[in-house]
Chain A
Amino acid sequence: MGGPWALAALPTRTKAIPVSETPPAPADDSAPSALDGPAITAAVDAALAAIAAAATTAELKTVRIEHTGDASVISTANRGIKDLPKESKAEAGKILGQAKGRVFQAITARQEELAAAEEEAALGSETVDVTLPVARRPRGARHPLTTLADRISDFFVGMGWEIAEGPEVEAEWFNFDALNADPDHPSRSLQDTLYVAPEGSGMLLRTQTSPVQIRAMIERGAPLYIACPGTVYRADEMDATHSPVFHQVEGLAIDRGLTMAHLVGTLDAFAQHFFGPQVVTRLRPNHFPFTEPSAEMDFRCFRCEARLGLDHAPDPDCRVCGGTGWIEMGGCGMVHPNVLRAAGVDPEEHQGFAFGLGIERILMLLSGVPDMHDIVEGDVRFSQHYGTEI
């Protein structure tokens, strides 16, 4: 190809200027020659002025047809090139090419400008008040206790432990005898434990999740690494820190060669996971029927200065630790050989540790829940505040 075709084809390749649907008009005798520079310049100036004056894309379209359409000065001059002497054709082509280029460029630029403005105006007219309330239904919520219990389970699963469960109405044997509680132990009294009628039924509402540990040892034997979250019951009056229904998580690890050092390591890992990377634990001697040695576990306060280490003094007014630097978290110890025997584990071969934590207590500490009533009463506002946090 080449020659005039190349020029003639130009407009059709420019997207902004579609092929005109009107048939080409016959050459106008009054049209200037393609070599008439001033005339062409005048036509271009007229086109540019019209383009600039177009206020809408629709007006621009009319301008485009008028100044670049078949009947336009430039198109007419373009068509006249073929009639020019051979030696003038190149120059004529150059003049017209430049002229067209300037006009089309201006149209394209103006088109973009106008389109953008029009779009902006159109979108502006569709503006809504995005601050309107949008919920068709209020959001639901998980209870923070079950969410926390799930997180605790996930922590132990992450350590390679399993989550064990058992019945809440439990046999006296599993809840007390198997756990080495003396037949006269005060915890067995009617003031402490809720029993199933009639007297002598041998059944009660479990006071701890420890019977699950016995069941797991009997069913699975050693080695065994389990955590048992669950609901437990005591014959307690409801007050700001006590509830007759509450939740515990107990851990039990039985293996060869487990020591109190592994107990401390597990508690440290737990404390750090839930309360912060620097939180350490402390054991104090205590007494429980089911462990020997037994200990009370304290977590270093995670709220006040004390959290920064044992060499940092606690804030005397700290609400979390009461100025002591330590928070009492529960009991723990090495599983008593009588407990292992009751669960069919040979204490000469396997030993292990167990610990118990109150889930409400952890929640109260972590979230600053002031009153146990809020946790257990079932008021939706308590759960709603937490939403579906995970």
Chain B
Amino acid sequence: MPRIPLNWLAEHVELPAGATAESVAADLVSVGFEEEAIHGAQVTGPLVVGRVLDLVKEPQKNGKTINWCRVDVGPEHNEEHDSPKDPQPGEERPSRGIICGAHNFVPGDLVIVSLPGTVLPGPFPIAARKTYGHTSDGMICSTAEVGLGEGVGEETKGIIVVGKGTLEGVTAEPGDDAIALLGLGEEVVEINVTPDRGYAFSMRGVAREYSHATGAPFTDPASTVVPAEGGRGGIPVQLSDDAPVRGAAGCTRFVAVEVRGVDPSAPSPRWMQERLTLAGMRPISLIVDVTNYVMLDLGQPLHAYDSHQLVAPIVVRRAHEGEMLETLDDKPRALDPADLVIADCGGESGDRAIGIAGVMGGASTEVSEKTVNVIIEAATFDPITIARSARRHRLPSEASKRFERGVDPLLPPIAARRAAELIVEFGGGEIDERITDERLEGFPAAPAPIAFAEDAAARVVGIEYTAQEVRGSLEMIGCSVERGEADGALLVTPPTWRPDLRIREDLVEEIARLVGYDRIPSIVPSAPGGRGLTRAQRGRRAARTALAEAGLVEVTSAPWIAESVFDAHAYGEGDERRAAVRLRNPLTEDEPLLRTALLQSLLPVARLNLARGQESVAVFQLASVYLPREAGQGAPVPAAAALPSAEELAQIDAALPAQPQRLAAVLGGASGPASWRGQAEPWGWADAIDLAHRAAAATGAQIEVSASEHAPFHPGRGAALHVVGENGERELVGHAGELHPRVVKQLGLPARTSALEVDVDRLIAAAPAVVRAEAVPTFPLAKEDFAFVVDESVPASAVEAAIVVGIGDVLESVHLFDVFTGEQVGEGKKSLAFAVRLRSAEGTLSAKDIAAARERCIAAVDAAVGGVLRA
């Protein structure tokens, strides 16, 4: 994101005395530019100019030669006397002794010294230290060490010498503050620019916004340049596009200005290098630095070609199938036919790509240290084309960042001219006045005016803006505002640098932010009154709470699963749960699917807890599973900004996976701590079924349990759970029981780990909407016990059902209190003992009534399951 050096900003807008990075950042926040960072002074402490008085070269054992120097760092910093143990070279004078490994300086040179207490970028704090047999009382610095990069040209290599290279033309005295001299005290604000405001990727744009925020006078730097004027005879350029993206031509304007006779060795001025560095760019050469500088200043990306390498005409076109280009970063890149390229007539084919438009130039026509004639390109490219190319080639360059957000289409001739002038100013040569300004017809297009009722902002924002606030805000951002003809609405024409202003609401936002969001009052709206939570919402809450109250811990698990899960959970070959939604770009390649059962992702969470030291586990989750529809059915994507047809909406919903909400729990190990009250029972199949009952009861539903073989459960210890809806239909809602021992072993769970998974929505749907009251008779209770001997295969629920049917109305409750197998009841048999409570709503039950009920019960159990009353 753009970095704004304060002194550069101050060139375009008046900063108040005492403005700091913090105050500027705060002002920019108020108009919508978030502060990303504040880069304070890069160097702090005593960084001073020093004069090398004496120098002794001392060869070292490691083959290096070091310089032992006596340096005058000014009266304020010099030591009066040498250390008697470690005298400095030459005659004793006030100075400091410093070791330096570089050799591009001689006695008498002024150098930059970081004295102890200085903190260089890194941060790298400087202290006196013993090295090569001396105490070095500071450090003589290079450009890189003070954070100015590697520098430009031979002269800037190695140690900085005042008057040469980086500090060419500069004079100084020993003891002078070098932080100011090198511009290292400069504060920089880095801001975040939202994608709609590309113009703020320039000092020009940010200065304008700072002026909006503070009212400080702003001078548009684009207004001080006389734009290059296109004419005949310039380098020929052809704009062709046989594959526009989303109907937009790739290039609508191409300005080319040539500068001839530039001194290839001329460096860019120090102030420019400093500003580029502060803005986060590396100084490279005069021509490159100028193009970058003008881009940072005005917002128009530029590109420079070496005229000698380029064979006219220039053609802007889409890339050919299979075309290659070596970009400036020396990487060969396979171009895509959707890439917009700049091509010339050079190369073997006479049709060669020399750059990916708006993204990065090519190596073949790159400017070099030999370039004397240079062609500057300033073009207008389609934002989407550029964005796609930048993404395709993973090249988010400074140019592409600006083009994809939109660049003021009036800038190309201004920026090209400005760059050409700067090159001539610092590198000599002259501007070829035959300038190319190739445009598509109708471009640059004038922004379309927007009809804007004067109260439009008030109606949306809730502030009664004055007419002056409305008009003033719009004019401030550069709109022209006229009185419309018909209905008194204003006719607002946005400035060319604001392509984001297209509709009324866009203008409302401008007024709101310039007048200030802080003026918006706070009013709580009164909704017309809702219906509260839905039954499903209440039911899900109740189910969660029921399991938590029963001692389970609610956890989360991510929905992605590996394909291997189906086998790990012992699903059969044809199990429909093997058909899962697959992600195109999963987070990890080994988990490409979305769960089709909640236990698929919950069992690993149980495992994680055991791995972290839990000795038992009792966890649950309530979340969606994703059950795909028939393969091959995609969801249509209707047009934006209009309600799709009912048919399209139905097609969308038909394509989406079914996504029922499931409640699942895993229970393994001891159900509680061993204690003075005895050992806790291990969690088991019965607990899983009990919890399913409790969860169901919490939603108001009742479940029926029956034996079922269903992975991942134990074939003999798993239950199917059904509900009976109000319509009387029996519906499967889930399973509970002990997990299959193979699954338990594979996942490393405690023996006999049990689980449940139920479809909560079906459960809740089956619960009666209203619970009907039952009479509470107060006639006396009669208690009867029965023990029936039945075949071992007969489910207890069948015996109970027969008892219920047999006894009829007078049955108050039935409860199985014992199961017994053994010799007394015979091989293959079991005895089930039930406590039955009888009560009539009509009167006291007589002995005769009770006896009759007993007989009905016995007969019913005999008839239903062949049960025999145990004597």
Report the interface size for chain A: residues with CB under 8 A from the other chain.
99
Which residues of the other chain, B, contact A23 by a CB distance below 8 angstroms? none
Q: Flag the segment in B64-72, B670-678, B785-793 that touches A.
A: B670-678
B293, chain A: closest CB distance, angstroms: 28
Structural contact, A172 and B635, CB atoms closer than 8 A? yes
Structural contact, B554 and A167, CB atoms closer than 8 A? no
Structural contact, B582 and A196, CB atoms closer than 8 A? yes
Residue of B nearest to A328 (CB): B34
Residue of A nearest to B192 (CB): A286
Chain B binding site: helix, strand, loop or mixed by DSSP? loop
Residue of A286, A376, A381 most packed against chain B (CB within 10 A): A286
Q: Which of these, B522, B605, B634, contacts A264 with CB under 8 Å?
A: B522
Judge whether B716 is part of the interface by a CB distance below 8 angstroms: no
Structural contact, A163 and B533, CB atoms closer than 8 A? yes
Q: A190-B584, A265-B525 are in contact. Are A143 and B556 (CB under 8 A)?
A: yes
Q: Flag the segment in A103-111, A119-127, A145-153 that touches B.
A: A145-153
- Chain B, range 620-634, C-beta contacts under 8 Å to A: 621-624, 626, 634
Judge whether A139 is part of the interface by a CB distance below 8 angstroms: yes
Q: A170-B656, A173-B652, A262-B525 are in contact. Are A153 and B533 (CB under 8 A)?
A: yes
Structural contact, A173 and B32, CB atoms closer than 8 A? no
Structural contact, A260 and B461, CB atoms closer than 8 A? yes
Q: Which of these, B503, B526, B609, B672, contacts A160 with CB under 8 Å?
A: B526
Judge whether B731 is part of the interface by a CB distance below 8 angstroms: no
Structural contact, B508 and A293, CB atoms closer than 8 A? yes
A269, chain B: closest CB distance, angstroms: 5
Which residues of the other chain, A, contact B525 by a CB distance below 8 angstroms? 225, 253, 255, 258, 262, 265-266
Judge whether A198 is part of the interface by a CB distance below 8 angstroms: yes
Q: A140-B552, A197-B583 are in contact. Are A169 and B461 (CB under 8 A)?
A: no
For the complex, give the distance between the alpha carbons of A198 and B634 in Å. Answer: 9
Which residues of the other chain, A, contact B643 by a CB distance below 8 angstroms? 218, 341-344
Residue of B nearest to A263 (CB): B520
Which residues of the other chain, A, contact B182 by a CB distance below 8 angstroms? none
Residue of A140, A378, A381 most packed against chain B (CB within 10 A): A378
For the complex, give the distance between the alpha carbons of A60 and B552 in Å. Answer: 58
Structural contact, B634 and A201, CB atoms closer than 8 A? yes
Residue of B550, B605, B619, B637 most packed against chain A (CB within 10 A): B637
Structural contact, A342 and B528, CB atoms closer than 8 A? no
Judge whether A180 is part of the interface by a CB distance below 8 angstroms: yes
Judge whether A174 is part of the interface by a CB distance below 8 angstroms: yes
Residue of A nearest to B676 (CB): A132
- Chain B, range 314-339, C-beta contacts under 8 Å to A: none
Residue of B246, B388, B583 most packed against chain A (CB within 10 A): B583
Q: A231-B623, A284-B34 are in contact. Are A137 and B195 (CB under 8 A)?
A: no
Which residues of the other chain, B, contact A259 by a CB distance below 8 angstroms? 459-462, 523
Digitize A226-257: 1 where CB-to-B-CB distance is under 8 Å, 0 elsewhere: 00000100010000000011000000010101
Judge whether A93 is part of the interface by a CB distance below 8 angstroms: no
Q: A137-B551, A177-B640 are in contact. Are A199 and B584 (CB under 8 A)?
A: yes
B707, chain A: closest CB distance, angstroms: 27
Q: Which of these, B196, B527, B551, B675, contacts A140 with CB under 8 Å?
A: B551
Digitize A127-148: 1 where CB-to-B-CB distance is under 8 Å, 0 elsewhere: 0000011011111111101100
Judge whether B517 is part of the interface by a CB distance below 8 angstroms: yes
Which residues of the other chain, A, contact B621 by a CB distance below 8 angstroms? 378
Q: A133-B673, A140-B548, A195-B585 are in contact. Are A287 and B197 (CB under 8 A)?
A: yes
Judge whether B778 is part of the interface by a CB distance below 8 angstroms: no
Residue of B555, B581, B585 most packed against chain A (CB within 10 A): B585
Which residues of the other chain, A, contact B609 by a CB distance below 8 angstroms? 378-380
Structural contact, A184 and B553, CB atoms closer than 8 A? no
For the complex, give the distance between the alpha carbons of A282 and B637 in Å. Answer: 37
Structural contact, B582 and A137, CB atoms closer than 8 A? no
Q: Which of these, B32, B554, B583, B680, contacts A194 with CB under 8 Å?
A: B583
For the complex, give the distance between the alpha carbons of A380 and B547 in Å. Answer: 14
Judge whether B537 is part of the interface by a CB distance below 8 angstroms: yes
Which residues of the other chain, A, contact B508 by a CB distance below 8 angstroms? 292-293, 334
Structural contact, B671 and A137, CB atoms closer than 8 A? yes
For the complex, give the distance between the alpha carbons of A138 and B683 in Å. Answer: 13
Structural contact, B530 and A157, CB atoms closer than 8 A? yes
A130, chain B: closest CB distance, angstroms: 13
Judge whether B467 is part of the interface by a CB distance below 8 angstroms: no
For the complex, give the distance between the alpha carbons of A388 and B547 in Å. Answer: 11
For the complex, give the distance between the alpha carbons of A307 and B547 in Å. Answer: 38
Q: Which of these, B31, B521, B640, B680, contacts A338 with CB under 8 Å?
A: B640
For the complex, give the distance between the alpha carbons of A52 and B162 in Å. Answer: 116
Closest 7 CB pairs of A and B: A285-B32, A259-B462, A261-B462, A293-B509, A287-B194, A160-B527, A202-B635
Chain A residues packing against B (C-beta within 8 Å): 132-133, 135-143, 145-146, 150, 153, 157, 159-163, 165, 167-174, 177-178, 180, 183-184, 186, 189-190, 194-203, 205, 218, 223, 225, 231, 235, 244-245, 253, 255, 257-262, 264-266, 268-269, 282-287, 292-296, 334, 336-338, 341-344, 351, 375-381, 383-384, 388
Chain B residues packing against A (C-beta within 8 Å): 29-32, 34, 194-197, 246, 384, 387-388, 391, 459-463, 503, 505-506, 508-509, 512-513, 517-518, 520-534, 537, 541, 544-545, 547-559, 581-587, 592, 594, 605, 608-609, 612, 614, 617-619, 621-624, 626, 634-644, 649, 652, 655-657, 659, 671-673, 675-677, 680
A-B contact pairs, 12 of them (CB 8 A): A143-B555, A145-B556, A160-B528, A165-B537, A167-B659, A177-B638, A196-B582, A202-B652, A225-B528, A264-B522, A265-B525, A378-B605
Extra inter-chain contacts (20) besides given A136-B677, A157-B533, A171-B656, CB under 8 Å = A135-B673, A137-B551, A140-B551, A159-B527, A161-B527, A170-B656, A171-B635, A184-B384, A186-B387, A190-B584, A194-B583, A197-B584, A199-B584, A262-B525, A282-B517, A293-B508, A342-B641, A377-B608, A378-B608, A379-B609
